């Protein structure tokens, strides 16, 4: 789903790492659909919620259904992510959800589809996945629940932070560094399009202190390995010296600068390799990128740049303030701080997920039985071109059968690969549908499996009719059209509402 404000920007907000559960409630006023979105975030340091409203309409340029004129209705006050005995406190999480729903005036029946990401160190807790399922069950049946999807997080942070800036300066590469408590998620983009993502365990909360001091309360596994590498002996309860703090921050700054430079050799071995979760290919062909920041540390950076000052020593009980100061002192990292200030700053990920992670289908989808929806956690088993042959379709069907309830196949036309490309012709759509129908007739699917085809062209009903032999084949088939190409592993499809459905991708490549 794409949201575009009328002036191309959204209000700048403070906050820490954020993620969102998108949902929609529709109303009809002068033939304009309104949708309501509620977002939930659980990060290494803080958790919060956001509620937005937007209109569903057809983009006059692309012709696709999109969300327009977003309006933020509610922002919760960030709270510290609740932990108890080393795991996320699920009861407290439920209490926060109830509080946010009540404060925002949001009823469960208003909600329709969306996604939750638990980020940073919180995603590494042993109950992160069960918590994601709990949130999914609590908020509704169509919620995406994924606890550790770093490439998606990087993509969302870029889209929520500097995508507008990137489009305004279309020939300039941008690298956004989303720095939170547990991770840094870099993303490289050009003209608003993300080209590369990564994730590194570089963050403010690997060392947790008594607020207002450097007395150590807790060290993450990555923090312990870094101390061992530095030859520093430090136990919980002791005070971290200035020398050790400088060594830790030196390593973090060197790692961040390597991401911006595209210096992959830095992470090739040793302690730097330990901190690499997803490699980042950030090379810009010799062009120096504009560097922007988001996440909790990004929020602190832009507070200081704006002259608002930073909180007192270890106010948040971590190295966030120290790291922000060191980034501002780096000529490479701080080169663009005053000139390019991104949207949403600390809340970039929640805005990115709310406004960019879910697409709206066209109104000509093939959906003979609306009761098959919603469909959750469908694996994307193949990406096939419109002219794929019988063997390719058969192989995709074999993979689809391995799923418990089916799977999704992305059907790519020229328009899928290039927004300015030509849509598939009727002859091409007919040939693709008839090819699939022949394979399905020879190798039928069981009634337990639903096949979902996702295409970018406005041809869902046509492709579905040919593929099902005009409804004669006993196949549970859904064809969702007008969906841009996404490189992902899973998809969720919400309930049909006013002849459209929300489609959310996760497990980004």
Q: What is the pLDDT of residues 139-180, one digit of tens each?
A: 654 445 454 567 777 887 888 788 888 988 989 999 999 998
Cα–Cα distance for residue pair 231/211, rounded to 1 Å = 25
Residues 90 and 127 sit within 8 Å (Cβ to Cβ): yes
pLDDT of residue 148: 54
Does the pLDDT at position 498 exceed 80?
Answer: no
The ranges assigned to domains in the chain are 3-148+352-356, 152-344, 359-508
Instruction: Please give the structure tokens belonging to residue 346.
Output: 């600390």
Residues sharing a CB contact under 8 Å with residue 5, sequence separation 6 or more, in sequence order? 69, 70
Most confident of 62-66, 91-95, 162-166, 176-180: 176-180
Enumerate the H helices of 262-389 as residue ranges. Answer: 270-274, 295-305, 320-328, 348-356
Q: Phi and psi of 256, rounded to 5°?
A: -65, -40
Residue 116 has pLDDT above 70, yes or no: no
CATH classification of 152-344, choosing from 1.10.3470, 1.10.1610, 3.30.420, 3.30.519? 3.30.420
Strands 65-75 and 3-4: parallel
Query: Per-residue pLDDT for 459 more than 70?
Result: yes
53 vs 479: which has the higher pLDDT: 479
Which of 32-36, 47-51, 234-238, 305-309 ranks highest by mean pLDDT? 234-238
Q: Which of 63, 92, 60 is nearest to 79 (CA)?
A: 92
The answer on pLDDT for 366 being more than 90 is yes
Between residues 32 and 135, which one has the greater pLDDT? 135
Q: What is the pLDDT of residue 38?
A: 73
Determine how β-strand 143-146 pairs with β-strand 114-117: parallel
Residue 368 near residue 475 (C-beta atoms within 8 A): no
User: Quick one: pLDDT at residue 112?
Assistant: 52
pLDDT exceeds cutoff 90 at 135: no
Q: What does the pLDDT read at residue 232?
A: 93
Contact (Cβ atoms closer than 8 angstroms) between residue 382 and residue 351: no
Q: 374: cis peptide before it, omega within 30°?
A: yes
Report the range out of 134-138, 160-164, 346-350, 457-461 with the highest average pLDDT.
457-461
DSSP classification of residue 383: E
Count Cβ atoms within 10 A of the Cβ of residue 416 and give its class: 0-12 exposed, 13-18 middle, 19 or more buried.
buried
The three state secondary structure string of 191-221 is: CCEEEEECEECCCCCCEEECCCCCEEEEECH
Residue 333 has pLDDT above 90, yes or no: yes
Three-class SS state of 116? strand
Q: How many other β-carbons are positioned within 10 Å of the β-carbon of residue 438? A: 14
Can you tell me the mean pLDDT for 455-477? 92
Residues 195-212: b if buried by 16+ CB within 10 A, e if exposed: ebbbbbbbbbbbbbbeee
More confident residue, 86 or 215: 215
Q: What is the mean pLDDT of residues 446-450?
A: 88
Q: Quick one: pLDDT at residue 35?
A: 72
The pLDDT score that the predictor gives to residue 120 is 58
pLDDT at residue 434 is higher than 60: yes
Answer with the residue of higher pLDDT: 58 or 397: 397
How far apart CA 306 and CA 391 sit, in angstroms, is 60
Overall pTM surpassing 0.95 (yes/no): no
Question: What secondary structure letter does DSSP report for 118?
Answer: B
Helix spans in 262-294 (H):
270-274
Is 92's pLDDT higher than 90? no
Structure-model confidence comparison of residues 199 and 16, the more confident one: 199
Lowest-pLDDT range, 61-75, 247-261, 322-336? 61-75
Nearest to 503 by CA among 19, 151, 419, 494: 494
Whether the pLDDT of residue 51 is over 60: the answer is: yes
- At residue 267 the predicted structure's pLDDT band, cuts being 50, 70 and 90, is very high
3-state secondary structure of 240: coil
Q: Is residue 33 a contact partner of residue 57, using CB atoms and an 8 Å limit?
A: yes
Could you tell me what percent of the chain has a pLDDT over 70? 77
Helix axes 221-230, 242-261, angle to 10 degrees: 110
Helix axes 320-328, 295-305, angle to 10 degrees: 50
Amino acid 98: pLDDT: 87
The overall average pLDDT reported for the chain is 81
Maximum average pLDDT range among 23-32, 221-230, 491-500: 221-230
Which residues, other chains included, contact 508 with Cβ-Cβ below 8 Å and sequence gap of 6+? 149, 151, 152, 155, 197, 486, 487, 488, 489
- The whole-number pLDDT of residue 268 equals 93
∠ Cα 226 301 166 (to 5°): 105
The band of 488, judged by pLDDT with boundaries at 50, 70 and 90, is confident
Neighbours of 367 (CB within 10 A): 20
Write down the CATH number for the domain with range 3-148+352-356.
3.30.420.40
DSSP state of 457: S
Based on C-alpha coordinates, what's the Rg of the chain? 23
H or E segment and range at residue 455: strand 450-455
- Alpha carbon distance 150, 153 (integer Å): 5
Same fold, 3-148+352-356 and 152-344: yes
Q: Which one is predicted more confidently, 463 or 37?
A: 463
Average pLDDT over residues 54-81: 71
User: Which one is predicted more confidently, 63 or 478?
Assistant: 478
Average pLDDT over residues 70-84: 79
* 191-242 tens-digit pLDDT: 888 888 899 999 999 999 999 999 999 999 999 999 999 999 899 999 999 9
* Residue 209 and residue 217 in contact, taking contact as beta carbons nearer than 8 Å: yes
Q: What pLDDT sits at residue 20?
A: 38
| pLDDT higher than threshold 50 for residue 258 | yes
Q: What is the pLDDT of residue 80?
A: 81
Q: What is the pLDDT of residue 435?
A: 96
Q: Is the pLDDT of residue 286 over 60?
A: yes
For residue 231, the tally of other CB atoms under 10 A from its CB is: 8
Residue with token string 């060191």 = 326
């Amino acid at each position: 789903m794409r949201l575009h404000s009328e002036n191309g920007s959204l209000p700048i907000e403070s906050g820490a790492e954020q993620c969102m559960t998108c949902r929609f409630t529709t109303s009809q006023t002068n033939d304009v659909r309104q949708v309501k979105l509620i977002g939930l975030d659980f990060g290494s340091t803080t958790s919060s919620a956001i509620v937005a409203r937007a209109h569903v309409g057809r983009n006059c340029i692309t012709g696709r259904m999109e969300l327009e004129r977003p309006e933020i209705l509610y922002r919760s006050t960030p709270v510290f992510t609740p932990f108890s005995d080393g795991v996320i406190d699920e009861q407290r999480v439920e209490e926060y959800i109830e509080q946010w729903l009540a404060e925002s005036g949001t009823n469960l029946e208003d909600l329709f589809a969306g996604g939750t990401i638990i980020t940073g160190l919180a995603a590494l807790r042993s109950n992160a996945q069960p918590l994601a399922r709990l949130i999914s069950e609590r908020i509704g049946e169509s919620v995406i629940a994924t606890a550790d999807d770093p490439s998606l997080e990087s993509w969302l942070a870029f889209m929520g932070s500097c995508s507008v800036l990137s489009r305004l300066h279309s020939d300039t590469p941008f690298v956004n560094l989303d720095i939170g408590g547990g991770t840094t998620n870099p993303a490289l983009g050009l003209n608003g399009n993300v080209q590369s993502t990564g994730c590194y365990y570089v963050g403010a909360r690997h060392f947790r202190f008594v607020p207002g001091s450097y007395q150590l309360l807790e060290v993450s596994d990555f923090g312990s390995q870094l101390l061992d590498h530095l030859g520093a002996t430090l136990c919980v309860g002791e005070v971290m010296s200035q020398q050790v703090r400088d060594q830790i921050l030196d390593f973090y700054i060197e790692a961040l600068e390597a991401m911006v430079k595209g210096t992959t050799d830095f992470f090739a071995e040793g302690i730097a390799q330990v901190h690499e979760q997803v490699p980042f290919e950030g090379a810009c062909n010799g062009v120096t990128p504009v560097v922007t920041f988001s996440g909790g540390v990004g929020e602190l950076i832009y507070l200081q740049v704006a002259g608002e000052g930073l909180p007192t020593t270890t106010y948040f009980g971590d190295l966030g303030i120290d790291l922000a100061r060191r980034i501002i002192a780096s000529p490479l990292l701080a080169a663009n701080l005053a000139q390019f200030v991104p949207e949403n700053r600390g809340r970039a990920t929640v805005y990115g997920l709310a406004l960019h992670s879910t697409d709206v289908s066209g109104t000509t989808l093939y959906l003979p039985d609306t009761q098959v929806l919603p469909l959750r956690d469908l694996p994307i088993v193949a990406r096939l071109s419109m002219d794929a042959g019988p063997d390719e379709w058969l192989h995709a069907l074999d993979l689809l059968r391995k799923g418990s309830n089916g799977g999704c196949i992305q059907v790519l036309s020229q328009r899928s690969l290039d927004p300015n490309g030509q849509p598939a012709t009727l002859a091409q759509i007919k040939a693709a549908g008839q090819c699939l129908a022949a394979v399905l007739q020879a190798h039928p699917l069981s009634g337990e499996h639903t096949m979902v085809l996702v295409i970018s062209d406005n041809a869902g009903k046509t492709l579905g009719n040919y593929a099902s032999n005009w409804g004669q084949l006993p196949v549970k088939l859904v064809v969702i059209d007008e969906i841009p190409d996404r490189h992902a592993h899973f998809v969720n499809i919400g309930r049909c509402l006013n002849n459209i459905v929300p489609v959310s991708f996760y497990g980004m490549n």
